[in-house]
Structure 1
Amino acid sequence: MAREKKQGVITIRVSDDYKNNLKQKAKDVGMDLSKYVINCINSNRTNVIHDGDILIAEIYNLNEQLQKLTLYKSLPIQELQNSLSNAISKLNTLANKDD
């Protein structure tokens, strides 16, 4: 599916302080101002996972440690792995909600 060419322009008037505030919020989440505003309008909220790359690395490390503990049959490793998998699925759903 080809991307639709952007030709329309929407102009809104806001105070300089408000515009700067929006620009900072957009920068904080790694978006340009247009994308941030469109995302806010479309979803009524913007889902941001700060330091997501660090979170992913820590989840990977946690899963590796859980895998090592599977030798200990008395520990509920599978339940912990299932919970971790569910948490990852929820994060993926949130992250991809606006795609």
Structure 2
Amino acid sequence: MKLAVEMAVMNMDGEISAVAVGEDSAKFHGMLRLNEEAADIITILGLAKDGISYDNLVKSLQTKYTDSTYEEIAEFTKDFLKKLWDEGLLIA
């Protein structure tokens, strides 16, 4: 899976958000308000230009969130990916 649009993640005064950048800003005009975990997912997906598997995405998150189990990370990741999919921001 990969992002359908190129996005930049920004942290302004503790508020994390993501916006489409470059030519993709014409495809998605909104802004996503994110928590830290969601920002990490967007960042990882953005770096994986050729895509990344769900399992590898969760494993990447596990390296940062060592206090959480694989299952906890997987559940949050699945929920957030569904939101991205529903917004047309994710390609399977």
TMscore range, shorter length? 0.3 to 0.5
Normalising by structure 1, we get a TM-score of 0.33
Instruction: Decide which structure has greater strand share.
Output: 2
Normalising by structure 2, we get a TM-score of 0.35
Instruction: Decide which structure has greater helix share.
Output: 1
Bigger RCO of structures 1 and 2 (CA < 8 A, at least 6 apart): 2
Rg (Cα) greater in structure: 1
